[in-house]
Chain A
């Protein structure tokens, strides 16, 4: 490659957080006009490094030079002035503002004392046509798809005439087809002379789109490679530091009798009056893992909320082991159904309760844990907690009395998994059980799910990670706009085909 002018030079960047060094002495050059990928596991320091570049964190040590000049990037405003823009992993959009308002926020054009939205709008429309980013500038963010929201984020950067574009895990929320589109957009931007920094942990994508790739591990820079000269296996090894099996070992499923049977389930959003879950029917049998796949926001979360009783359902029935559970309370459902919830901080844990209290969250009212007079049996709380801590290797600063808040994400998730699996219920509902965890923890949790299946439990897995769905599940239900598009066998369907179902392009006639 001939274009070797350095647009960014990181020198010895070190950034610490309490208890962890997120970036440890990182030095790195970024060439002008390249697509440069940053690869690493969760917590490897790639997002932190980019946040430092974007001025959201100030590093304790080290310097950054942009276009050969050393700069102090103290806040995002400075970064913007230097021509740096960032699409964050969790979009930074104001939900009840329009696309246009979101784009101009912070660099508005004025006419006298008032906003000049007319001029702004013209500029936005020009940009969106130039780069092929079709979008309705007057739509409210809360009403548009995730893909469109991402375009809004990209437009935000272009509107500010950013030259260096940072994409933080941009593909996590997209369908395979949308990912293709994004890749084209990124390549187009690079051709126009933009420099792109692209954070990901998906090896295939990096191989496809980037010119060079830098691999980070535990805050340290491992190596920078030309993407063309390397293989995904090699990148994977460097990322994890050892050889990884991308496959979950499991025997073929031997499904038994039906445990969960859902018929014609419909849920309507109170505010929008839209059917978020539309006439869904399926069943889960003993000894199989059924996955619900799909792009975020197509009714999967609501379906789970309806099943577990967190949200009310409008029509349809739910039966478990042949008994009708449609109108039962959450507590009654909890007796036959374990539930690893989507959001561990919102639902899974009471962060300001100690670990032992959290581990007893589904049991505290049972006779073992509370006397007839209503007094808690703390001895039982302690012994039960110690038992689970031991069995599932939950690590924490002070054992069972550790506040859940001070535990690491992986161990918090382990605690929830431990609690739910130990319920020994016939049905295990696991929602995004590996979100935000590192490879070791993911392996552990996948193993647990398969083990549960082999013990004859019915497992319902909901995940946005297509790899996880393909690897772990015995059967996959794809949801699109509240409906089930297909009941597929992951061994017989390719990822691309799955993508067509997820995007609502393809639909299977017979339903599960």
Chain B
């Protein structure tokens, strides 16, 4: 790309980033008000803990925790970016994520624990990925071939997953003593490599590295390849894509399966983590799935931006957990997340408004040249 191109893209990125920042600030301000109003004496301290990610309390080992929280929401966030860019509003993250998690657990318990070396953890990850995609298959078919609203389709599958999950856990991997899924065999857990050293956290593993790699691959796919060109074309104008001979049904399937696969992978990575994660016997949708939407909104649908978005939300989550020592509930992080999504919903409006503010002078100039062109 020429110099001119690079310059132009900088400006548009600038306002995009700015609107993300406004969303974040909006969320934080709202959280601050809620904290102050609920407990005026401890509110400020709790808020400080929240926005410093608890680092002054937990020290560097928090970096490992941060990565641990960032891994699943990065995967689901990238999953949403891919789907949203293709115009598919996949809300099925929670279901796809949990099914992936269960698939990874079951595979490691029953199949891969005797596999040699890295296969012991690679195979469950692959199965998790496939399982996530499989959970997105029917909503995809319903959308592509029966025109069923994809939001409704994926939501329904979330609830179906929620009810069946307990049934499956109960039948195949229930640890009655702890009321949760059985522990994954240690040889099936993710390797740690150099991660404990750089995060000074004994249970840090390579999960975050895999997630970042996936984000980069997704970005390359969307920006540099023929498939990405087609997927984005379908997202931006499905009719024109059809006119150009792009098979829209196939693309709907590809994007939703890809999205489901990424969610499934997120579930697998989290539940094979060294720190150990379990599914509890509770009728609830996995928050990691919904948080992917927030990550994606923060990132303006860019898989690369999702890396930053996921790290930021994870940072808040760590802070939110520390905040509990002041007697505040960590749900405040979800509240912030929701405010961020809310702002993202009209980010286009914000962006246009900001552009108007920032480039008022420039616009005047454009107007003159525009008239000359006419």
Contact = CB atoms under 8 A, between A and B. Distances in A.
A192 B1 CA distance: 66
Contacts of A349: 237, 240
Interface string A348-381: 1111110001000110110000100011101000
B239 A346 contact: yes
B237 A351 contact: yes
B370 A331 contact: no
A19 B374 CA distance: 9
A347 B8 contact: no
B371 A361 contact: no
Contact of B243 (A218, A341, A357): A341
Interface string B243-262: 11111000000000000000
B229 interface: yes
B236 A375 contact: no
B282 interface: no
Contacts, number: 82
Interface stretch (B20-28, B57-65, B92-100, B219-227): B219-227
A269 interface: no
B240 A218 contact: no
B39 interface: no
A310 B226 contact: no
A331 B245 contact: yes
B367 A364 contact: no
B236 A330 contact: no
A401 B4 contact: yes
A334 interface: yes
A357 B245 CA distance: 15
Given A352-B236, A365-B226, A395 B243 contact: no
A348 B367 contact: no
A456 to B, nearest CB: 25
Contacts of A332: 245
B8 A401 contact: yes
A350 B241 contact: yes
Interface string A291-321: 0000000000000000010100000000000
A395 B239 contact: no
A21 interface: yes
A271 to B, nearest CB: 14
A116 to B, nearest CB: 38
B236 A351 contact: yes
Contacts of A357: 229
B301 to A, nearest CB: 12
A20 interface: yes
Nearest to A330: B245
Given A350-B240, A374-B226, A401 B370 contact: no
A32 interface: no
B371 A21 contact: yes
Contacts of B245: 329-334, 362
B244 A334 contact: yes
A339 B370 contact: no
Contacts of B225: 374-376
A18 interface: yes
Nearest to A332: B245
B366 A347 contact: no
A376 B224 contact: yes
Nearest to A351: B237
A325 to B, nearest CB: 13
Given A19-B367, A348-B243, A362-B244, A218 B374 contact: yes
Contact of B227 (A20, A333, A374): A374
B226 A376 contact: yes
Interface residues of B, number: 29
A349 B232 CA distance: 13
Contacts of B363: 18
Contacts of B240: 346-350, 361
B243 A19 contact: no
Contacts of B5: 401
Contacts of A378: 1
Nearest to B244: A361
A408 B374 CA distance: 9
Nearest to B370: A19
A19 B363 CA distance: 9
A20 B233 contact: no
Interface string A322-346: 0000000111111000010100001
A107 interface: no
A398 interface: yes
Best-buried of B227, B367, B374 by chain A (most CB within 10 Å): B374
A352 B240 CA distance: 12
B242 A330 contact: yes
B373 interface: yes
A339 B243 contact: yes
Contacts of A362: 244-245
Interface string A13-38: 00000111100000000000000000
Nearest to B228: A376
Contacts of B247: 329, 331
A364 B226 CA distance: 7
A350 B367 contact: no
A399 to B, nearest CB: 8
A310 B1 CA distance: 35
A202 to B, nearest CB: 24
Contacts of B244: 330, 334, 361-362
Given A364-B229, A401-B5, A20 B374 contact: yes
Contacts of B229: 357, 364, 376
B4 A398 contact: yes
A395 B233 contact: no
B243 A310 contact: yes
Contacts of A375: 224-226
A374 B237 CA distance: 22
Interface in B202-243: 224-227, 229, 232-233, 236-237, 239-243
Contacts of B227: 374
B241 A370 contact: no
Contacts of A398: 4, 8
A341 B236 CA distance: 18
Contacts of A19: 366-367, 370-371
Contacts of B1: 378
Centre residue among B225, B237, B371 by max chain A CB count within 10 A:
B237
Interface string B340-374: 00000000000000000000000100110011011
Contacts of A376: 224-226, 229
Given A331-B245, A401-B8, A353 B371 contact: no
A157 to B, nearest CB: 33
Contacts of B237: 346, 349-352
A310 B8 contact: no
Nearest to A18: B367
Contacts of A353: 232-233, 236
B233 A350 contact: yes
B374 A330 contact: no
Contacts of A395: 373
A488 to B, nearest CB: 30
A104 to B, nearest CB: 34
Contacts of A397: 366
A471 B34 CA distance: 71
Nearest to B225: A374
Contact of B371 (A20, A310, A365): A20
18 contacts: A18-B363, A18-B370, A20-B370, A21-B371, A330-B242, A331-B246, A349-B237, A350-B241, A352-B236, A353-B236, A361-B233, A362-B245, A364-B226, A370-B226, A374-B225, A378-B1, A395-B373, A408-B374
Given A332-B245, A347-B239, A364-B226, 17 more contacts: A19-B366, A20-B374, A308-B243, A310-B242, A329-B247, A331-B247, A346-B239, A348-B240, A353-B233, A353-B236, A361-B233, A362-B244, A370-B226, A376-B229, A397-B366, A401-B4, A408-B373
